[in-house]
Structure 1
Amino acid sequence: MRRRHTLRLEQTERGGEAAMKLLWSSPNTAQRIIPAGQLFPAG
């Protein structure tokens, strides 16, 4: 079943290189990177 969930992600860089991963998991699914096609802007 597809459902929408609110997600707020904030990132601050204080110089140097930065990296970030956005992951999801469920009781039946191992943790993995969320595919870009599953993300939509609010509105």
Structure 2
Amino acid sequence: MILDKFLNLKGTCIQGYLHLENIGIVCRIESKNKKATARRR
């Protein structure tokens, strides 16, 4: 079933993974900034 979804949605899956990776990077940067701001406060 999972393979069928991947085969049916190749483009969207690739775009989704790219978005997830970008969101993960942004979340990591934001978490670092939040820690820095928390220390400043």
TM-score range, shorter chain: under 0.3
TM-score where L is the length of structure 2? 0.20
- Answer 1 or 2: higher relative contact order, Cα 8 Å, separation at least 6: 1
Identify the structure with the greater helix proportion.
2
Identify the structure with the greater strand proportion.
1
The higher radius of gyration belongs to 2
